[in-house]
Structure 1
Amino acid sequence: METEFTPWLSLGGGVLIGLSAILLMALHGRIAGMTGILSGVIPPLAADWPWRAAFLAGAILAPMAFVLAGGTIPFAVPVSSPTLAIGGLIVGVGVYFGSGCTSGHGVCGMARLSPRSIVATLVFMASTFATVYVMRHMIGG
C-alpha cells in the first residue's frame, strides 16, 4: 500500500490541532487528549460534559464540512474487520496503561515538557516504526 504525501493538508491539520489544544488550555485549563475528553461524555457524564461534547462534535463535523466544501479525504482500510477490531482493542489497552493517548501525550504533554509524555511519545513512535517495518518489509503488507 502506498501512502500519499500531503504536506499542505498535513500542515493545515497540525496548525488546527495545535490551535485547538492551545485554546482549550487557555480558555478552560484542560488538556486536549481525545480519550480523556471522550471519557467525560460516556455515562456517567462528567460535570463539564458540555465543552467535551462540543469539542468532539467539532472533531466530527469539521471533516464533514471539508468534504461538503469539495475537499477529499483519501481513506483506505487494508485489513479485515476482525483485524481492525483487534487493533482497536490493543490501542485501547495501550491508552489505558499509558495514561493517555497520542493527542494528550504527543501534542499537549510534550508542549508542556512533561517527562512522562515525552517517554510515552517516544514509545508510541518506536512502536509505530516497528509495526510499519514489520508490516511492509517482513509480512509484505
Structure 2
Amino acid sequence: MSIDIASFTPGLSLTGGMVIGGAAAVLVLFNGRIAGISGILGGLLNMPQKDAGWRVGFIAGLVGAPVLAGLLGHPIAPDIHAGWSEILVAGFLVGIGTRYASGCTSGHGVCGISRGSVRSLVATATFMASGSLTVFVSRHLLGG
C-alpha cells in the first residue's frame, strides 16, 4: 500500500470541514433547518413549497461552487473508475440507503452527530462501514 502524498492535504481538508460545519451551523441558527442534502432536495421536490427560495439557493451553491472554481482556474475533474451502469446502480443504492436511514451523510454525519443524535451516530457508522466493505470487496475480492 502506498500513500499519494500529493493528494494528502490535511490543511485544505480541515479548512473545508470547518466551512461545511460553519455553513451547517448558520443554516440551523438562522433558518432552523438541518443541512442534509437529501432533505433539502426532497423538500424542494414536494410542491407547493413555501420555503423553496433557500432550498434553491442551497442547491445552486452546490452546483455553482465547482463551476466557479473552474472559472477561477481550479477546475474540478473527478477521476471516476466506473461506467455509467455502475454509477447509476450506486446512485440508486445510495438513494435507498438515504431513504432507509431517514437522511444522508451530510444530515446525519455533519448535523446529527454534532447534536448528539444516537440515530445519526448509528447511521453514520453504517454508512462508513458499508463504504469500507464496498471498497474492500471491489478492490480485493473482485480484483478492481
User: What is the TM-score of this pair, normalised by structure 2?
Assistant: 0.89
CA distance in 1, matches of 2:8, 2:75: 14
CA RMSD after TM alignment? 1.6
State the 1:47 CA deviation.
1.6
Report what 1:101 is aligned to: 104
Unaligned runs of 5+ in 1: none
Aligned length: 140
CA distance in 1 between partners of 2:19 and 2:71 (Å) = 18
1:116 is aligned to: 119
Are positions 1:85 and 2:88 aligned together? yes
The equivalent residue for 1:25 is 28
TM-score (norm 1): 0.91
Cα deviation for residue 119 of structure 1 reads: 0.5
SS in 1 for 2:45: coil
- % of aligned pairs identical? 46
Matched AA of 1:140: G
Q: Which residue number corresponds to residue 5 of structure 1?
A: 8
C-alpha contact (below 8 Å) 2:41/2:55 kept by paired residues? yes
SS of structure 1 residue aligned to 2:122: helix
Question: 1:120-139, aligned counterparts within 5 Å?
Answer: 120-139=123-142
1:68 maps to a residue whose letter is L
Q: CA deviation at 1:13?
A: 2.1
Return structure 1 stretches of 4+ with deviation > 4 angstroms: none
